[in-house]
Amino acid sequence: MPMERKNLRVFEDAVSLLKDNWPTPLLKLKSETREGFEVWAKLEFYNPFSRSIKDRPVWLMLLRALEKNDFNSLYEATSGNMGIALAALSNFYGKRFRAYIPRTTPTTTEIILRVYGVEVVRTDFETIDWDFIETVEADAKRDGAVNLNQFKNDANFQSHYEYTGKELVEQLKSIGRKPTCLIAGIGTSGHIAALSMRLREAFGDVKIVGVQPRKGESIPGIKRIETKPKWLAHASPWKIIDVSLEEAVKGSIEVARKEGIFIGLSSGAVFKAFQKIKNILGHGVYVLIFPDDGFKYVEIFAKHLKINKRHSI
């Protein structure tokens, strides 16, 4: 009976909607697959709360925190998806949430957080750096709140090793594919490191390509290696590819127009990184991680497409 109910997509509660709905899809990109090249994208925007890969670590970090002690409030530094996922799960578990966001955070993200009833503190920080993180940690300690801190919390890495990575290996084995290359963005480094370890354990040598914003630029969801992400060493990247914001936007638009799926900017950056390295690495099976969809970034797309209120789309 439980299996029949799952097949009919009946869920007991919102958390079941997350963990009982895995795995997220692995999709062949037909526009990029040709003789000698097979390209697959893992669509993490099928997660329900933030429509992003961040649902996974937020769920496990929060679960671990709830197991350790009772608390009423959560304080977190976030620029987007982590905050939205935590907003949803905080409401589910009956906790108050204060989100500290950089001043550059898109208005759309703040609106979503406020819909969830989150207390939003828009700071003067340009981006989330270690000073920002330590400021939030200090405020949480002062007020007796819990700070999950995705940048240091090992449950971040573990969520991707135990769940995302495990299911990706199972998906690839189910279609008889041995990956040549994994391409993923560098943010906290949780998912690129955990997936790299899982794939190498299962398939041996797999080239790992990390994606970061071009120096002096910002792309939501990914960071440069100078920020010293905690788990990146576990990934042992073969190459780190720089992508500009404009390239990321163009990548998202290209995938939308060729494949019919609306991916976010870090996903667009991953796609552009693939196009940059495919001729260097050559034939093989490529796996691209698409962390989220594009709906939160409509302001950026509008600017790129030169859309304003006087022009119809």
What whole-number distance in Å separates Cα of residue 272 and Cα of residue 294?
15
pLDDT digits (tens, 9 = 90+) for 223-241: 999 999 999 999 999 999 9
The SS3 of residue 170 is: helix
pLDDT digits (tens, 9 = 90+) for 277-313: 999 999 999 999 999 999 999 999 999 998 765 554 4
The SS3 of residue 231 is: coil
pLDDT digits (tens, 9 = 90+) for 172-208: 999 999 999 999 999 999 999 999 999 999 999 999 9
Q: What is the pTM of this model?
A: 0.94
pLDDT value for 4: 57
Contact 188/230 with Cβ under 8 angstroms? yes
pLDDT value for 309: 55
Contact 98/118 with Cβ under 8 angstroms? yes
Contact 24/17 with Cβ under 8 angstroms? no
- Residue-range domains of the chain with CATH: 2-46+160-302 (3.40.50.1100), 55-143 (3.40.50.1100)
Contact 64/155 with Cβ under 8 angstroms? yes
Phi-psi region of 282 (alpha: psi -120 to 50; beta: other; left: phi over 0): left
Could you tell me the mean pLDDT of each successive run of 10 residues in the chain, 313 residues long?
A: 66 94 97 96 98 98 94 95 98 97 91 97 91 96 97 97 98 98 97 98 98 94 93 96 98 98 98 96 97 94 80 48
pLDDT value for 1: 41
Q: Which residues of 57-96 are buried (b: 16+ CB within 10 A; e: fewer)?
A: bbbbbbbebeeeeeeebbbbbbbbbbbbbbbbbbbeeebe
